[in-house]
Chain A
Amino acid sequence: MGSRASRLLREEEIEEIKKETGFSHSQITRLYSRFTSLDKGENGTLSREDFQRIPELAINPLGDRIINAFFPEGEDQVNFRGFMRTLAHFRPIEDNEKNKNPATEPLNSRTNKLLFAFRLYDLDRDDKISRDELLQVLEKVDVEQKMSIRFLH
């Protein structure tokens, strides 16, 4: 944990991740700590085995699909940027967040959260599952709250 990481996180990288994902400085350093503790091979990337070493994830019925969500198409390793990008979907939506650039939605918007959940089912990535079911979910489920992880600071 802490500064015993094989490679320290540079300030510029922290700023870039902050802009892209919206996590705070201390949250990013914490998650980097977690990333390095999961990275048993100490090569700066996580493989699927690293994720499966987490017992609570291994027994989760959707565990394999969640792990898949971290890996981009056809790749077997995920670096810290990719890790953070996926976790960013679960950042709580703050009321006072102003979207400076209305063209691109933040990663943790309602739509992007739903897109994440959708991709768990759409394994062949052809953007199709039953439309009616999805519409019902869109109407009534409190997605912002159910798909958010709150940090303790």
Chain B
Amino acid sequence: MEDLWTVAVAVFQLWIFVVVFFITLPAMFGLSLGVTSVYIQILVKLLEWATIRIQRGREEQPSVPAPLPNGIIERAEGSMEEEMEQLRRSRSLEGGEFALSDALYFCKKGLESIVDDQVTQRFSSEELASWNLLTRTNQNFRYISLRLTIFWGIGVFVRYCVLFPLRITLAIIGLSWLVIGTTLVGFLPENSVKYWLSEVVHLTCYRICARALSATIRYHNKENRPQKGGICVANHTTPIDVVILANDGCYAMVGQIHGGLMGVIQRSMVRSCPHVWFERSEMKDRHAVTSRLRAHVAAKTKLPILIFPEGTCINNTSVMMFKKGSFEIGGTIHPVAIKYDPRLGDAFWNSSKYNMVSYLLRTMTSWAIVVNVWYLPPMTIQDGEDAVQFANRVKSAVACRGGLLDLAWDGSLKRGKVKDAYKEEQQKMYSRVIVRQNSISATHTRRDDQS
């Protein structure tokens, strides 16, 4: 028994040595041994081979269904007016204002949205164009080839028995360092040394956490990085967005105070650096929130605020409505677009399906997280533009840069119902179609009368 114990202790010591010296310390200084990039290159090649193999298998066995990441039905892209024109061309316009066949348009649109709609699919994980050898994305897998199954088996072993313990160790080291480091820095008096130390602690901790997810982050346009006194807005996919962005700069976080482990972390972070945490009751009071943020921004020396205007996690295929609250604070907006590579790991947090712990476990047992971050040039509100238009302008810029679909729908539709105002919009649009048809036929008859 004694020998077993000494062996276990020796293994553990070796393990910690490897983790600390080969991963944690280089990570803290922003260096890398290059192991992760080699790993990702191998993975990408493997997944490309798997895609080709599956396609071949699909040709041989026609019963294997094909994945359809872009929707399952053909949809006509025309506007309401164009579609109505087509429906009505088969009968003369003089007949009247309303044609019974108009109903067919709404009927078809309604059934189309029942089969496949643009909004509810954004609240669940994206369907991949091809299987990426993870059990969880195995939608319609049929047995195709022995080699694929072997690779999948090796993948399970590597992910759960090799990578997962490593990542858990790193995560624990990273978070404990954050709590301890920020508490220690909090004891210093307010001077420039404290700010510098606080930045160092935050940066090193987030770098360790990024390693804990095997995250490869590519930053583009670093010259547009958010400056002090500005507001950084980004599209929201997962709580990990914070780690991704904070790897390259220090931000003042905004959010609700939680209980438990999150609460401990939040409370220690605010000791070293002025983050903006709200109590749950304060969040309801929009004026209080806005004024506190405004005060933070006005002091131009404070770190830029990080806000996610969508308000909830979306599955990274589209950008949904940016809530205008963040755009009413004033100050310069620095938009950032974040796009995850879905093949190597699904970063989206489906909060109705998984809680935080199971989400983190799933992320730590995927292949890796590969993400591209684009910093966009700063934008400010222009004359004659209100907060909503400004928000839409920023949203389009972010969607365009990140290669995401720009949707006007509200992310809170995940949990709530659609407002009646939108239904009235549709009714107004339709009545405009009828009235226009009516005025055209009225002009015709008037001309006939005159001639």
Contact = CB atoms under 8 A, between A and B. Distances in A.
- A, B from the same assembly: yes
Interface of A: 1-3, 25-26, 29-31, 34, 37-38, 51-63, 66, 87, 90, 116-117, 120-121, 129-130, 133-134, 136-137, 140-143, 146-153
A148 to B, nearest CB: 8
A37 B115 contact: no
A146 B119 CA distance: 24
A56 B127 CA distance: 21
Given A1-B124, A61-B426, 6 more contacts: A60-B106, A63-B110, A117-B103, A141-B104, A146-B87, A153-B68
B107 A26 contact: no
Nearest to B430: A61
Interface residues of B, number: 49
A138 to B, nearest CB: 10
B71 A152 contact: yes
Given A55-B409, A117-B104, A143-B104, A149 B65 contact: no
Interface stretch (B12-20, B273-281, B339-347, B415-423): B415-423
Contact of B110 (A2, A53, A62): A62
B73 A59 contact: no
Contact of B90 (A2, A55, A120, A141): A141
A153 B66 CA distance: 8
9 contacts: A53-B417, A56-B109, A57-B114, A59-B418, A61-B423, A120-B107, A129-B100, A152-B72, A152-B74
B191 interface: no
A151 B119 contact: no
A60 B113 contact: yes
A134 B100 contact: yes
Interface string B110-121: 111111111110
Contact of B113 (A3, A56, A129): A56
B124 A37 contact: yes
B115 A34 contact: yes
Interface of B: 63, 65-66, 68, 70-74, 87, 90-91, 95, 100-101, 103-120, 124-125, 127, 138-140, 409, 413, 417-418, 422-423, 425-427, 430
Given A29-B140, A59-B418, A147-B107, A141 B119 contact: no
A30 B73 CA distance: 11
A104 B332 CA distance: 68
Contacts of A31: 115
B120 A54 contact: yes
A150 B111 CA distance: 12
A140 B104 CA distance: 13
A147 B427 contact: no
Given A34-B116, A52-B417, A55-B409, A133 B100 contact: yes
A53 B120 contact: yes
B124 A152 contact: no
A87 B72 CA distance: 14
A95 B114 CA distance: 26
Closest 3 CB pairs of A and B: A56-B113, A140-B90, A2-B139
Contact of B107 (A54, A56, A58, A66): A66
A57 B73 contact: no
Given A37-B120, A55-B409, A66-B110, A87 B430 contact: no
B130 to A, nearest CB: 15
B111 A87 contact: yes
